[in-house]
A and B are shown apart, each in its own frame.
Chain A
């Protein structure tokens, strides 16, 4: 039985630790990860092999394309710099829209949560806007702001801000009343309650909502490109589809998917850090 000193104890209640060999534990974790990735890679290999085999034999190539054709088209798009330029355009619209959406959504969420009277008046309108299929408003947004980058930013913002708004609103209005009372009894001003209690308490919810909101912003930006654009991955997919170039469509889709996954993993890493800081755990 190993006695654990307070400095290394994860929790003060555990005066004694279970006998765990650190090296064995690490090796087990590495092996577990290797097994996990081996299975994942095997699934991809089996899928691509089946796809390659079926392409041209079971299904027409122009409908399903094939892994080799997709790689070929990827190489072509990369050579001309088209893929990166389209990716940059889409990410620009998505990024700006996401940032504005996060700012508006979290600010409104905080205000609604803190000022219950405002919340009671506005809540039905917020619910109505949340339920509106935002993408259907795209043609109207074209009328309002034109067809350039602003339109895509607008669609991305309007699509993603509601998720953030509702999460922050929920976090703020469900804040522990005892904590709020403690702050008030300690003589905290409204500003101190906002910065010292509401903001930190809403951080976990905000990060969760950002992870959900980012793909929505991306969809908004791509839909904006579908409506009217001469650049971006949405335009690339649409243009390739119109030329029956399934491989081109898939390159655009895969590029956008991989980008979204990378950004999600960054947000998840931040979320884990914050969750640890707040004494919570994160799954997924």
Chain B
């Protein structure tokens, strides 16, 4: 959940959180100075939650994911993964980046089976599991194709399948659908939700797109500033689920969350700052009058 306490309020849930940031600061060494990327981050994510992190460019969203994966160490405060402080790469983590990381010399099957191969799973077993995973993401007929033969959406599905095939505990996604067109992005969002719903998989999903965050997240973490900090954590329990994206965006609760989050994010932008992408107008023509456009601010 989006607070510093491991106890989920109102539920009595004392389960160890999957991810816990406590007063975390991360700094990068610059030319003669230490540049903090994020400061005083407090965030707790419980098992099975889908947390979206939104905010403008340079506010440290990706830094949080790097800390979660173990690729980056905190320089202040404490970070715990499954209740423990780690000094090496964290285990049981799947990381999907916006930038494609498929191996061009491997087929769909080879790419999906790669993490199994690296972890010593036998050839027969990894082929079987990879084929099953490929089928579950709708690529069962494309096993022997190379990434160059696939569309952008299919390549993203292969990346997702490669990440899920090891049954990770924590799924980190850094603007995975940022390069896709609006229609494909909505399809991929629906696809992702359908894959994750009903599982214990915990997901932290970074996006520029507030609509995307509100559509697929259980809660939205709004970051701002440079160095970045968490300004608001909005839980989305009151949003109607199991409805179409268009219906969801027409609900009063959605509009309230959107307005509140947008106020937080936009309030922290300088006039020449990098603005938050806001693509509701791309997805839903009737609902195009978003908080951003209503405010007359041009958004990117």
A130 within 8 Å of B (CB atoms): no
CB 8 Å contact bits of B57-79 with A (1 = contact, 0 = none): 00000000000011100000000
Most B CB atoms within 10 A — which of A13, A183, A186, A188? A186
Q: Which residues from 76 to 109 on chain B have a C-beta closer than 8 Å to any C-beta of chain A? A: 89, 91, 93-95, 97, 99, 101, 103-105
A residues less than 8 Å from B103 (CB atoms)? 179, 197, 200
Q: How far is the CB of A208 from chain B (nearest CB, A)?
A: 16
Contact with A11, one of B94, B101, B151 (Cβ below 8 angstroms): B151
B residues less than 8 Å from A277 (CB atoms)? 105
B residues less than 8 Å from A187 (CB atoms)? 89, 91, 115, 118-119
Tell me whether A176 and B105 are in contact in the complex, defined as CB-CB below 8 angstroms, given that A11-B148, A185-B93, A192-B118 are known contacts.
Answer: no
Q: How far is the CB of B169 from chain A (nearest CB, A)?
A: 13
Of B139-147, B221-229, B249-257, B264-272, the one contacting chain A is B139-147
A residues less than 8 Å from B148 (CB atoms)? 11, 279
A261 within 8 Å of B (CB atoms): no
Q: How far is the CB of B28 from chain A (nearest CB, A)?
A: 15
Q: How far is the CB of B166 from chain A (nearest CB, A)?
A: 8
Q: How distant is the Cα of A130 from the Cα of B146 in the complex, in angstroms?
A: 38
Contact with A183, one of B94, B99, B118 (Cβ below 8 angstroms): B118
Q: Is the CB of A185 within 8 A of B89?
A: yes
CB 8 Å contact bits of B271-288 with A (1 = contact, 0 = none): 000000000000000000
Tally chain A residues at the interface, Cβ within 8 Å.
26
Contact count band on B: 20 to 34
A241 within 8 Å of B (CB atoms): no
Most B CB atoms within 10 A — which of A10, A12, A185? A185
Q: How distant is the Cα of A112 from the Cα of B119 in the complex, in angstroms?
A: 27
A32 within 8 Å of B (CB atoms): no
Q: How distant is the Cα of A265 from the Cα of B70 in the complex, in angstroms?
A: 48
> How many A-B pairs fall under 8 Å by CB?
66
CB 8 Å contact bits of A157-168 with B (1 = contact, 0 = none): 000000000000
Q: How far is the CB of A81 from chain B (nearest CB, A)?
A: 45
Contact with A279, one of B89, B104, B118 (Cβ below 8 angstroms): B104
CB 8 Å contact bits of B140-160 with A (1 = contact, 0 = none): 011001111111101000000
A residues less than 8 Å from B37 (CB atoms)? none
CB 8 Å contact bits of A189-226 with B (1 = contact, 0 = none): 10010001100100000000000000000000000000
Residues on A lying within 8 angstroms of B by beta carbon are 6, 9-13, 176, 178-179, 181-189, 192, 196-197, 200, 277-280
Residues on B lying within 8 angstroms of A by beta carbon are 69-71, 89, 91, 93-95, 97, 99, 101, 103-105, 114-115, 118-119, 141-142, 145-152, 154, 166
A-B complex: 7 closest residue pairs judged by Cβ atoms: A279-B148, A279-B104, A186-B115, A13-B151, A12-B151, A188-B118, A182-B101
20 sampled A-B residue pairs with Cβ under 8 A: A11-B148, A11-B149, A12-B142, A12-B150, A12-B151, A12-B154, A13-B152, A178-B101, A179-B101, A181-B95, A183-B118, A184-B89, A185-B70, A185-B71, A185-B89, A187-B91, A277-B105, A279-B105, A279-B147, A279-B148
- A185-B95, A196-B118, A279-B104 known; 18 other A-B pairs, CB under 8 Å? A6-B141, A9-B149, A11-B151, A12-B145, A12-B151, A176-B99, A178-B99, A178-B101, A179-B103, A181-B71, A182-B101, A186-B119, A187-B89, A187-B119, A196-B114, A200-B103, A278-B105, A280-B104
